[in-house]
């Protein structure tokens, strides 16, 4: 259940003996875990009052707005409390990098075990971010940058072409063909959305309106 301001009370939280509660922050669109941090009562109150994440620094023993020194922010979108009331999960709109050195979008960039297969909205959210980075910082030889350079009309034409190929593939028995063409269509659609300044969250909001 999300913690709506009118029904939330800091007394619901169970702080540890050190007066802190662990907080997991996720990107609200991609689902990527950005940071594991801690809040004390003051940090929790400031987070909900201002709408921006504030954390307690165990080394400095102070409460600061996230990313204040680097100019980054984490705008609070929604918050969840676990069943034991001793851990917070917040979904945020992050500006800048989560890595304190400003090198990575998330503080968990190292994959050390297993094969990570991204699923559904998480992959699309990450794709949106990556496409947006190519739009903001074009790279020579990068196909995504090439598409942006060609403009909306060319991107839209490409989406149309991929849509036709997807339909043709769906008429055949080859499942892999459908998967490949669907991936092409989704990718080019994401590029077109980015070119038009449309966010996945806006599309999802529209879908939610229709889910009745």
Residue-range domains of the chain with CATH: 5-95 (3.10.20.810), 120-210 (1.10.287.1080)
Q: For 177-195, what is each residue's pLDDT tens digit?
A: 999 999 999 999 999 999 9
Q: Taking the complete model, does pTM exceed 0.75, yes or no? A: no
Q: Are 31 and 122 in contact (CB under 8 A)?
A: yes
Q: For 63-115, what is each residue's pLDDT tens digit?
A: 999 887 777 889 999 999 999 999 999 999 888 766 655 567 788 777 777 66
Smallest Cα–Cα separation from 185: which of 209, 163, 201, 152?
163
Span 156-178, mean pLDDT? 96
Cβ-based neighbours of 83, under 8 Å, separated by 6 or more: none
How far, in Å, CA of 13 to CA of 24, rounded? 15
Smallest Cα–Cα separation from 56: which of 73, 68, 43, 47?
43
Residue of 103 and 145 predicted with greater confidence:
145
Say yes or no to pLDDT of 4 above 80: no
Q: For 114-136, what is each residue's pLDDT tens digit?
A: 665 656 667 888 899 899 999 99
């Amino acid at each position: 259940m999300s913690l709506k301001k009118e029904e939330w009370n800091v007394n619901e939280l169970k702080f540890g003996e050190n007066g802190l509660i662990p907080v997991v922050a996720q990107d609200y669109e991609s689902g990527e875990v950005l940071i594991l941090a801690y809040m004390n009562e003051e940090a929790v109150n400031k987070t909900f009052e201002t709408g921006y994440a504030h954390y307690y620094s165990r080394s400095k023993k102070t409460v600061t707005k996230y990313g204040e020194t680097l100019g980054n922010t984490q705008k609070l979108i929604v918050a969840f409390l676990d069943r034991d009331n001793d851990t917070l999960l917040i979904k945020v709109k992050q500006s800048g990098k989560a890595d304190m050195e400003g090198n990575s979008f998330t503080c968990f960039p190292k994959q050390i075990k297993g094969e990570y297969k991204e699923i559904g909205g998480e992959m699309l959210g990450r794709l949106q971010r990556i496409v947006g980075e190519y739009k903001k910082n074009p790279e020579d030889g990068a196909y995504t940058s090439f598409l942006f350079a060609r403009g909306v009309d060319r991107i839209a034409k490409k989406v149309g072409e991929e849509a036709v190929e997807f339909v043709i593939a769906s008429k055949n028995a080859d499942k892999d063909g459908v998967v490949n063409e669907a991936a092409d269509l989704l990718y080019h659609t994401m590029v077109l959305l980015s070119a038009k300044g449309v966010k996945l969250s806006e599309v999802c909001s529209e879908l939610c309106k229709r889910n009745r």
